[in-house]
Structure 1
Amino acid sequence: MTNEFKAGDKVQWESSQGTVHGTVKKKLTAHTTIKSHEVAASREHPEYLVVSDKTGAEAAHKGSALKKA
């Protein structure tokens, strides 16, 4: 089962510090770099650029790692 999200969706994900809440900024469908981290996103395997509500940090996550908040 794949999870589909759109810009503006409120989501949560697990990190080493616990549950993080944030917002989807955009769907990534092409290879990109975020803070020197290579993101191997594609149309077949999209990832989502999310912004943490608490810190404002951006990160890319697969849809399977995100849940609607």
Structure 2
Amino acid sequence: MSEEFNVGDRVRWNSRTGAVTGEVTEVHTADFEFMGRRRVCSEDDPQYKVRSDATALHAVHRADALRRLG
């Protein structure tokens, strides 16, 4: 089972430009729309909205794409 994250957790993920660090800003457990695309998630398979430290832009990832910092 993947690790679970909470709002405020510091995380790292990979992007096209390399490793990115940031913070979890939202935890989604029901389907939602992000940047014009429907994101499918559930209590058992949440998705996490994260904010990049470098750009302050947001992205959405599943738990298996994130690594806890610290």
TM-score between the two structures when normalised by the length of structure 1? 0.92
The residue type equivalent to 1:15 in the other structure is: S
Aligned length: 69
- Aligned partners of 1:6 and 1:62: how far apart in 2? 13
Unaligned regions of 5+ residues in structure 1, if any? none
- Aligned partners of 2:12 and 2:36: how far apart in 1? 23
Alpha-carbon offset, residue 10 of structure 1 = 0.4
Alpha-carbon offset, residue 48 of structure 1 = 0.6
**After TM superposition, which residue ranges in structure 1, 4 or more long, deviate above 2 angstroms?**
none
1:26 is aligned to 26
Secondary structure of 2:2's counterpart equals coil
TM-score between the two structures when normalised by the length of structure 2? 0.91
